[in-house]
Chain A
Amino acid sequence: MINRTIFFTGGVGIADTTTIAGPKEGEGPLAKYFDTILEDDLLGQKSYEKAETKIHIAAIRHMLNKTSMTAKDIDCVFAGDLLDEMIVSSLALREFNIPFIGLYNACASFAEALIVGSSMISGGLMDRVICSTSSHFSTAERQYRFPLELGSQRTPLSQWTVTGAGCTMLEKYQKHKVKITCATLGKVVDYGVKDANDMGAAMLPAAMDTIKTHFRDTQRKPSYYDMIATGDLGDAGGRLLRKLIKEEGIDIDSQHQDCGELIFNREWQDVGQGGSGTACSNIVFNSYIYQQMLEGKIKKLLLVPTGALVSKTASLQGETIPGIAHAICMERV
């Protein structure tokens, strides 16, 4: 480990990815990259929480089917979500006879899963793991904001929680096309943003800190990467990140894209600044970005999922919103 960056010298390869996207995500610009697009985000269930659990189960099951594996072949599932005590992942993993480690870093949970999974494989402790996360617009709205049918207005800075789930299967590196080479661990950074509707601004300092640290630790320049993808800063947050980081001498203008911006068409989908949620960076990476890497259009990727570690109780008690971001470097072999 150099400062905050760990190098997976043991070799970690991505075996496969799966994604399930909600109906609104299915109308967005990345529709053709998703494995499955839901027609009904309630899935005939009694509650949206049950629906999200179903989606999470389906993503893992789809992964097992796609790779012709059984539960026995998987050493561990690293999973997370936004709800209560990580209840969706726990209920989903009830269906599988696989060891489970639950992870929470809000919308950066997917990065956490990839880092922990890669560490286990690189260190030789495990051979094959699944990293999965899920989120659902309707369950997140209810937990963090208001009931769905309440006639309230969304602020222009609000973001739309992505409905969906995705899985990445990691293996000991053999002849995989994409490998995970290193990761820079994020710190909790809080610059005092209190507006729970402006999560882009709350997460931005964390993203900036992690990206800067990554370049310092690895001695790389932004031009080393074909794409630097932040998780869910949104349109305005992404723009501000590029501006502020440029002031510090790091120009990522030509590499930077934000997953929250990529997943929706902001012009007509009425999503505020773009997508957010635990599934956001997950399904954008596991569908569109991974496909681009397989095709060789993106050879080196720095994925920086961002998380606003917001809690309704803490916010009501006057706490500001802590942010976190982890960076993971992936390379096309």
Chain B
Amino acid sequence: MKNKEYLKTVKSEMPPSRHVKTMVRAFIVGGLICCIGQGISDLLKLAFPAMDKQVNQQFTVLIIIAVTGILTGFGVYDNIGKFGGAGSIIPITGFANSVVAPAIEFKREGYIFGLCANMFTIAGPVIVFGVVSSIIVGLIYLIIGGV
């Protein structure tokens, strides 16, 4: 049997991912997280009617991140992730989880070379892409905006 033939057999014989099931779960969990975020924002608006819209948004994000961090610490968020998949990874909660999880894990190697050095092992690429794309968008805006 040749390599290519074998890889083809593996592809056809091994059980595939259950796309429909994972997509439905991701939709539900992702939607729920967004609803909770909206709820927090609305509650903030109720409690502090004078609050600026942008400040409201920032506070909402801060609260969600803090809650995710705590849930990750207590070992709850990984179960949400196991169930929800992309639904729990895409929202900002997924980002918070990806920073807190390695931080917890690598604390055992010490604060400097463990926790600090490894905190962004998963989130690092996201930050790099975020910064780079913001620079590109900024440059485009500079050029087009100047015209």
Contact = CB atoms under 8 A, between A and B. Distances in A.
B9 A244 contact: yes
Interface stretch (A149-157, A168-176, A281-289): A149-157
A84 B72 CA distance: 27
A193 B8 CA distance: 11
A192 B3 contact: yes
Interface stretch (B13-21, B42-50, B129-137, B138-146): B13-21
A153 B75 CA distance: 15
B101 to A, nearest CB: 4
B104 A157 contact: no
Contacts of B108: 46-47
B77 to A, nearest CB: 5
B7 A192 contact: yes
A83 B77 CA distance: 27
Interface in B54-85: 72-73, 75, 77-82, 84-85
A148 interface: yes
Nearest to B12: A240
A303 interface: no
B41 to A, nearest CB: 23
A224 interface: no
Interface string A170-201: 00000000000000000000011100001011
A153 B9 contact: no
B78 A150 contact: yes
Give the interface centre of A154, A191, A236 by most chain B CB atoms within 10 Å: A191
A142 B14 contact: no
Interface string B109-146: 00000000000001000000000000000000000000
Nearest to B75: A149
B105 A151 contact: no
Interface residues of A, number: 28
Give the interface centre of B14, B78, B100 by most chain A CB atoms within 10 Å: B14
A216 interface: no
Nearest to B29: A151
Contacts of A205: 6
A152 B88 CA distance: 9
B97 A191 contact: no
Interface in B85-102: 85, 88-89, 94, 97-98, 100-102
A44 to B, nearest CB: 14
A149 B72 contact: yes
B77 A157 contact: no
A78 B17 CA distance: 40
A5 B85 CA distance: 47
B10 interface: yes
A149 B88 contact: no
Contacts of A193: 7, 10
Nearest to A149: B101
Contacts of B13: 236, 239-240, 243
Contacts of A240: 9-10, 13-14
A153 B22 contact: yes
Contacts of A149: 72-73, 75, 77-78, 97, 100-101, 104-105
B17 A151 contact: no
B105 A148 contact: yes
A150 B14 contact: no
A156 B122 contact: no
Given A192-B7, A193-B10, A150 B102 contact: yes
Report, nearest first, the 6 A-B pairs whose CB atoms are least far apart.
A151-B81, A147-B105, A149-B101, A150-B101, A147-B101, A153-B85
Given A149-B77, A152-B78, 6 more contacts: A147-B105, A149-B100, A151-B79, A154-B82, A192-B7, A236-B15
26 contacts: A142-B105, A146-B101, A146-B122, A147-B104, A147-B105, A149-B101, A149-B105, A150-B122, A151-B80, A151-B82, A151-B89, A151-B94, A151-B97, A152-B82, A152-B89, A153-B22, A156-B15, A156-B17, A157-B14, A157-B15, A191-B6, A193-B7, A236-B15, A240-B9, A240-B10, A240-B13
Interface of B: 1, 3-4, 6-7, 9-10, 13-18, 22, 72-73, 75, 77-82, 84-85, 88-89, 94, 97-98, 100-102, 104-106, 108, 122
Interface of A: 46-47, 142, 146-157, 191-193, 198, 200-201, 205, 236-237, 239-240, 243-244
